[in-house]
Amino acid sequence: MAYLINPEDQDLLDSVREFCEKEIKEQCKEYDVSGEWPEEIYAKAAELGYNGLEVPEEYGGLGLERITVAAIMEEFAKADAGFVTTITASNLALKAVLIGGNEEQKQRCCDLLMEGKHGAFCLTEPMAGSDAGNSKTTAVREGDEYVLNGRKCFITNGGVASFYVVTAMTDKSQGVKGMSAFLVEAGTPGLSTGNHENKMGIRTSNTCDVVLEDCRVPASALMGAEGEGYKIAMKTLDMSRTWVGCGAVGIAQRAIDEAVAYGKQRITFGKPILKNQGLQFMIADMEIRVETARQMVAHALKLMDAGLPYSRESAIAKCYAGDIAVQNALDAIQILGGYGYSREYPVEKLLRDAKIFQIYEGTNQIQRMVIGKSVIGKF
């Protein structure tokens, strides 16, 4: 079972799947080894409009339903989790602008994504990951400008983005209420990027430090009012978590697809290994997990569509999908046995890719804090 999308969009999904099969899946194996950002693949995808899937219709987007975008994102993730990470990260930056930006900022970012450009969301710092309030980056107002100083780390698309949403403290004494958000365009003097991280997985996504050294931006780059940065960031992450869950579902599904394909043709003791009930039960458990996660993603998206609160559901979707992606990847490796452990086969990559889904956009421990608090409430 997949997402229930409207029949017209099925055709759209089929063409995306064809692109993923022919242009991403096999090609990414080589980039997974080299760690190089596959510019050529991203250029082709950009030409087809894959960067602008979440741009709202009123800002020049195509007005796709969220559930259709989810089905497309799952295809991306099935082909390569680094690819979906790049697309999701641009959309993460877009979400922040749509939540906290003014009309001009929204239109600018939507235009850039529709042109096939990328965005980056710069919240994390060396000493401020889950504890984002401990941010050391500062923004000081000087006349009609703000001067930004600090170092952001683990920034997806850091080296390839055209626009950056950067959080910085405008008033340290206020704690998180002294954090503000700025929209900074690539090429702004004082903004530079560090080395591309040599990561365990999602190696086709670009991750690097974003360094701000006396980076002057016009006062109009401020998103919302001073002190609203933390609120914007938290709202953004609340929404984005579901999409991270969606990517994890894609990895978990690919694990099943690979395990089933292999298990049908691998013969031991005179019969295919999937004739053994023990392995059939493993496949069943993998399917139970992936379908549960997928429907949790769908449910959170439905709440967003309905304008209802979705923080808890978004956190559940992200946390559960991240956990089960790792488990399904492990099980796929187990079913492929020695071959599963070999880099000649695709499933070990799934495990390396899946692991980050328990870490980024708030670790799964943070998700459990969010979920726990929302259930227990204040007492």
Q: Is 64 in the site for other proteins (CB under 8 A)?
A: yes
Choose, by CB under 8 A, the member of 25, 29, 35, 62 that binds other proteins: 62
Is there a catalytic annotation at residue 361? yes
Tokens at 223, concatenated: 């998103």
For residue 9, the minimal CB distance to other proteins (Å) is: 9
Amino acid identity of 149? N
Place of tokens 């949403």: 165
Which one from 23, 197, 313, 361 is the annotated catalytic residue?
361
Choose, by CB under 8 A, the member of 26, 36, 40, 47 that binds other proteins: 47
For residue 260, the minimal CB distance to other proteins (Å) is: 18
Q: Is 103 in the site for other proteins (CB under 8 A)?
A: no
Nearer to other proteins, 12 or 283 (CB): 12
Q: Is 257 in the site for other proteins (CB under 8 A)?
A: no
Site for other proteins in 151-210 (CB under 8 A): none
Nearer to other proteins, 18 or 40 (CB): 18
Nearer to other proteins, 55 or 191 (CB): 55
Q: SS3 of 253, please?
A: helix
Nearer to other proteins, 60 or 126 (CB): 60
Amino acid identity of 128? A
HSE-up (13 A, CA, CB side) for residue 221: 25
Site for other proteins in 4-33 (CB under 8 A): 8, 11-12, 15-16, 18-19, 23
CA distance 157 to 333: 30
Q: Is 50 in the site for other proteins (CB under 8 A)?
A: yes
Backbone φ and ψ of 277, nearest 5°:
-60, -35
Handedness of CA 54, 55, 56, 62 (dihedral sign): negative
Nearer to other proteins, 50 or 154 (CB): 50
Question: How far apart, in Å, are the Cα atoms of 154 and each of 88, 109, 130, 228, 241?
Answer: 15, 21, 12, 23, 17
Pairing of strands 145-156, 138-142: antiparallel
DSSP-assigned letter for residue 162? S
Strand partners, 182: 166, 222
Which residues bind to other proteins, rule: CB under 8 A?
A: 8, 11-12, 15-16, 18-19, 23, 44, 47-50, 52-53, 62, 64
Active site residues: 361
